[in-house]
Amino acid sequence: MALLPILCYPDPKLHTVAKPIAAVDTGIQTLVANMLETMYEAKGIGLAATQVGVHVRLIVMDISESRDAPLVLINPKLNWVSPETHLNEEGCLSVPGVYDGVTRHDAVKVEALDGQGRMQWVEADGLLAMCIQHEMDHLQGKVFVEYLSPLKRNRIKTKMLKAQREARD
Ligand code: K1U
Ligand code: ZN
């Protein structure tokens, strides 16, 4: 297994729309294993392939305390969203150190292939529902800061670019 570099906002590659996966082959299974290792090492609860520069419709997640309940969604399709929404604080491994409020549906129903290529149906609420919506946005090339005001977003962009410059020099 291998740790993969995570793209940092405002990298333009984060705005690429991901393509469906034609077959869950060994190449995809290796990518799943590497993304899970990368997510656990970064102490995240989710990771989209977009964030590691691979533009295919693949998400890994684990919201368990014990970090031993991975969930793999390949070609996820949102079948239902609850009419109720809530504003909650979110973070993103591609925008390190930034947390802000985003309004999301309280509950969602998704269908997707699992890591073995079998169809699964997932009903989620709470943190898992937030995480699924956040990760599905990544697959559409959308980063959570795009829900914030242009003023906040520009401040975040400036802060990220400064941090990236300082890390380089
Ligand atoms: O996609 C990502 O960058 C992962 C992201 C997922 C996420 C967190 C919170 C709300 C929605 C989606 C993270 O894992 S951020 C870091 C984190 O571990 C975390 C942040 C807030 C609550 C719980 C965990
Ligand atoms: Zn994110």
DSSP per position, 7-33: P-TT-GGGGPPPBPPS---HHHHHHHH
Does ligand 1 come within 6 angstroms of the Cβ of 139? Answer: no
pLDDT at 80: 98
Token code pair at residue 3: 């740790």
Rounded average pLDDT over 71-96:
98
> What sign for the dihedral angle of Cα 135, 141, 143, 146?
negative
Q: What is the pLDDT of residue 52?
A: 98
For ligand 1, whether the C-beta of 62 sits within 6 Å is no
pLDDT tens digits, residue range 100-114?
999 999 999 999 999
Looking at the DSSP bridge assignments, the partners of residue 101 are 89
Could you tell me the two tokens for 64?
A: 């368990």
Residue-level pLDDT at 169: 86
pLDDT at position 146: 98
Q: Which percentage of the chain shows pLDDT scores above 70?
A: 100
- The answer for 97, left when phi > 0, alpha when psi is -120 to 50, beta otherwise, is left
Is the pTM value of this prediction over 0.85? yes
The CA distance from 56 to 29, in Å, is 13
pLDDT band at 8 (very low <50, low <70, confident <90, very high): very high
Rounded mean pLDDT of the chain? 98
Q: Measure 27 CA to ligand 2 centroid, in angstroms.
A: 23
Q: Would you state the pLDDT for residue 121?
A: 98
Ligand 1 pocket mutation pick from 90, 104, 128, 135 by most atoms within 8 angstroms of CB: 90
Listed in sequence order, the DSSP H helices in 48-149 are 126-139
Among protein residues, the one with the nearest Cα to ligand 1's atom 20 is 91
Percentage of the chain beyond pLDDT 90 is 98
Which residue is associated with the tokens 């941090």? 163
Instruction: Report whether pLDDT(152) > 90.
Output: yes
**Whether residue 43 has its Cβ less than 6 Å from ligand 1:** yes
Q: Is 102 in the pocket of ligand 1 (CB under 6 A)?
A: no
Active site annotation includes 84: no
> Residue length, the chain?
169
Q: Where are the alpha helices (DSSP H) in 42-125?
A: none
